[in-house]
Amino acid sequence: MLIRKPNDIRPSEITSEANYLNRRDFIRASAIAGGSIISSGAIGAIMPNSRLAPLENISKSFLSTNEIPNSFEDISTYNNFYEFGLRKSDPAANATSLKPRPWSIKVSGHAEKKGVFDFDEFMKPFDLEERIYRMRCVEAWSMVIPWVGISLAEVVKHYQPTSKAKYISFETLEDREQMPGQKGWSLDWPYREGLTIEEATNPLTILAVGLYGKVIPNQNGAPIRLVVPWKYGFKSIKSIVSIKFMSSQPKTSWNMANPYEYGFYANVNPKVNHPRWSQARERRIGGGIFDKKRETLIFNGYGEHVAHLYKDFNLQRNF
Ligand SMILES: Nc1nc2c(c(=O)[nH]1)N[C@H]1C(S)=C(S)[C@@H](COP(=O)(O)O)O[C@H]1N2
Ligand SMILES: [Mo]
């Protein structure tokens, strides 16, 4: 069974990323997100895999891991997407109100080419690839996800950033009707994230539009979301409407919410603990009760591709 009723959800499942939030606000945000289920009459963002449109012309990437991917059910029902509520089951239950079409993406800032593009027009110059990546959430769980996406390096090249472009900032849609969780106070909306231009153009970084060979479900960030597999999950911003080339480090949502707990870089690092829990180990979702916790790897195991980016870096300070 995909959906569990709210009473079946143990308090321990309520995200620890939410724990710092004021308890009253937390309850208010959940109540509002919960209310939307009733008003829209829909518990249906859980689209069975078979109902999502297949994507065509997908090539396989040599950058994929050969670990076994998590099930579609795990990937599409255990989510963080605070625009739809704070519990892991909320996005699957509530994200029916998100309308991934029509969708436009604004490209702005320090680049030769910019503008507002319809999603399909935005996608046209780029080739789809399957990238099976290990993903590690800051809450010490992980999954293996067969994304379908486009190379962010190709996107960056296409828009021709100027020499002033040192960073890229991304923003999620802000729309209280489509995203009922934005009515309550939890994060400062819109959700924002950022990368250095070197991180954005690393071959690992993609914008994902699909999963398991099909269009990405709403709860995973339709129609287009970032995927940065060597960083904690919160960097991988969903449902992007804005891409901006910037000369200075952009503000990012979790860093704004709590700079002591969430840094700008957020590189997966077993040696730098979160102030409230260890990052040394992780639980693979779907592993079952006998599954042992596994050791978390520096840069989530992607060090050969990205360690050079942080060569002269103090990883303890720049967490
Ligand atoms: N807009 C937006 N993007 C977001 C989040 C969010 O709350 N809002 N949560 C982040 C966190 S904490 C994680 S772990 C990943 C989860 O992605 P998934 O649900 O597709 O596995 O999305 C990230 N992107
Ligand atoms: Mo996360």
Q: Write the CATH number for 72.
A: 3.90.420.10
**3-state secondary structure string across 43-97:** CCCCCCHHHCCECCCEEECCCCCCCCCCCHHHHHHCCCCHHHCCCCCHHHHHHHH
Residues paired with residue 148 on neighbouring β-strands, in sequence order: 130, 210
Per-residue pLDDT, 288: 85
Quote the percentage of the chain above a pLDDT of 90. 82
Question: E strands of the chain, at which residues?
Answer: 58-60, 104-109, 115-118, 128-136, 141-151, 167-172, 192-196, 206-211, 214-215, 225-227, 240-246, 281-284, 294-295
Q: Is 242 a pocket residue for ligand 1 (Cβ < 6 Å)?
A: no
43 pLDDT higher than 80: no
> Per the domain annotation, does 30 fall within a domain?
yes
Query: Which residue, judged by its Cα, is nearest atom 8 of ligand 1?
Result: 81
- CA 181, 182, 185, 191 dihedral sign is positive
Query: Measuring from atom 20 of ligand 1, which residue has the nearest CA?
Result: 220
> Is residue 251 in a domain?
yes
112 CA distance to ligand 1 centroid (A)? 30
Residue 213 lies in a domain: yes
* Ligand 1 neighbour 236 (Cβ under 6 A): yes
For residue 47, the model assigns a pLDDT of: 67
How many structural domains comprise the chain? 1
Domain-located, residue 167: yes
Cα of 207 from ligand 1 centre, angstroms:
13
> Atom 4 in ligand 1: which residue has the minimum CA distance?
237
**Which residue CA neighbors atom 24 of ligand 1 most closely?**
237
Q: pTM higher than 0.85, yes or no?
A: yes
119 close to ligand 1 (CB < 6 Angstrom): no
Q: Residue 316 falls within a domain, yes or no?
A: no
Q: Is the link from the previous residue into 146 a cis peptide, with omega within 30 of 0?
A: no
CA atoms within 13 A on the CB side of 69: 16
pLDDT tens string 157-204: 999 999 999 999 999 999 999 999 999 888 999 999 999 999 999 999
Q: What is the pLDDT of residue 46?
A: 59
Tell me, in angstroms, the distance from the centre of ligand 2 to residue 114's CA: 30
Range of the domain at 63: 11-310
pLDDT, tens digit, 9 for 90 and up, residues 61-107: 999 999 999 999 999 999 999 999 999 999 999 999 999 999 999 99
Q: Quick check: is 5 in a domain?
A: no
Ligand 1: atom nearest CA of 191 is 1
In a domain, 6, yes or no: no
For residue 191, give the ligand nearest its CA. Answer: 1
Domain-located, residue 229:
yes
Instruction: Classify 317 as helix, strand or coil.
Output: coil
pLDDT at 86: 96
Work out the end-to-end distance of the chain between its first and last CA atoms, rounded to an integer number of angstroms.
38
